[in-house]
Amino acid sequence: MNFALYRAMLKQQSKKILGFALGSSTFLLMETFLYPSIEEAMKAKMDIFETLPDGMLAAFGLDKGFAISSVLDLFSVQYYSLIFLVLLSLFTVSMANQLLSHFVEQGSMAYLLSIPVNRKQITFTMISVFFTGLLVIMVCNFLFPYVGSYLNNVELDWKSLFQLNLLGFLLFFAIGGYSFFFSALFLNGHRVLAWAGGLTLIFYILDMIGKVNQQWEDLRYGSIFTLFQPTEIITGDVELYSASLILFSLGIIGYFLTIAIFQRKDLPL
């Protein structure tokens, strides 16, 4: 890794990283402060949910009998089951595009290669910038509600919150793997967004269909999002080690292929 390039790219992407980190974490902080005043209303809302079909409950990331009895339950339903997935998918795919293929399209890659740094170092450095940004977001997603719960005297299961963010990090570590792979393969921003974004959307749809319709439940096994189920993580119904290992392995394969392809790619410089 080239540390001078790392610092320069991190500075360039800092506004985007902080925007995603502070925006998402402020939402969690707000929910932490609001929870005591809306606790009863949320319980009434759950009574309404109980009347819905199982498939529709699954679409909300809920199981029959699940009740919002803590602020972490609220996080899992209102943030980690949808908002988190959409925001981090946008962040991951756009970062993979901007940090690799975008430089080739702009012609800036020729300047990077003119300095004493090889393609392997450049690729690893760009991936490291993405890692750093993703880590900043996840740390903020953990610290903001943790501090908010302390200040507002709200009980928060910090261990489950940590597990949520750890598995969330590994989920987008894996998505980043194939996003960077497409970025190195195509070197075209539109195609990268189409393939990486399209594949992520297909994974999400497969997971959703499998949840809603039991006849199509097997489709979930073809989706990466099946390994990240917020309500099941909170209730301890997830094999955390197995899910983490699979996601980590998928990510490593993606980054290894990215570096290998970019080293051999004929660049239009």
Sign of CA dihedral 118, 127, 182, 174: positive
pLDDT at residue 76 tops 90: no
Confidence band of 44 (pLDDT split at 50, 70, 90): low
Which residue, 201, 190, 238, is CA-closest to 89? Answer: 201
Confidence band of 69 (pLDDT split at 50, 70, 90): confident
Domain count along the chain: 1
For residues 155-176, give the mean pLDDT: 92
AA letter at 126: M
In percent, the amount of the chain with pLDDT more than 70 equals: 84
- 166, part of any domain: yes
pLDDT at residue 27 tops 70: yes
Q: Which domain holds residue 245?
A: 3-264
Confidence band of 139 (pLDDT split at 50, 70, 90): very high
Please give the backbone phi and psi of residue 52, each rounded to the nearest 5 degrees, phi first.
-80, 155
String of DSSP letters for the chain: --HHHHHHHHHHHHHHHHHHHHHHHHHHHHHHHHHHHHHHHHHHHHHHHTTS-HHHHHHTT--TT----SHHHHHIIIIITTHHHHHHHHHHHHHHIIIIIHHHHHTTHHHHHHSS--HHHHHHHHHHHHHHHHHHHHHHHHHHHHHHHHHTT----HHHHHHHHHHHHHHHHHHHHHHHHHHHHH--HHHHHHHHHHHHHHHHHHHHHHHH-GGGGGGGGG-GGGG--HHHHHHT-S-HHHHHHHHHHHHHHHHHHHHHHHHH-----
CA torsion angle 164 170 176 181 (round to 10): -160
What was the pLDDT predicted at 172? 96
Range among 57-66, 78-87, 111-120, 211-220 rated most confident: 78-87
What was the pLDDT predicted at 171? 96
Residue burial 224-238, b: 16+ Cβ < 10 Å; e: rest: bbbbbbbbbbbeeeb
Q: Which residue has the tokens 């899992």?
A: 76
User: How many Å from the N-terminal Cα to the C-terminal Cα in the chain?
Assistant: 22
> How far apart are the C-alpha atoms of 183 and 203, rounded to whole Å?
19
Confidence band of 187 (pLDDT split at 50, 70, 90): confident
108 or 219, higher pLDDT: 219
- 220, part of any domain: yes
What was the pLDDT predicted at 81? 86
> How far apart are the C-alpha atoms of 169 and 139, rounded to whole Å?
10
pLDDT at residue 43 tops 70: no
pLDDT at residue 158 tops 70: yes
pTM of the shown model: 0.87
Between the alpha carbon of residue 201 and those of residues 31, 89, 90, 184, 198, the distances in Å are 27, 9, 11, 20, 5
- 49, part of any domain: yes
For residues 117-134, give the mean pLDDT: 90
- Tokens representing residue 21 in the block: 């980190």
DSSP letter (8 states) at residue 76? I
- 269, part of any domain: no
Least trusted range by pLDDT, from 11-15, 93-97, 186-190 = 186-190
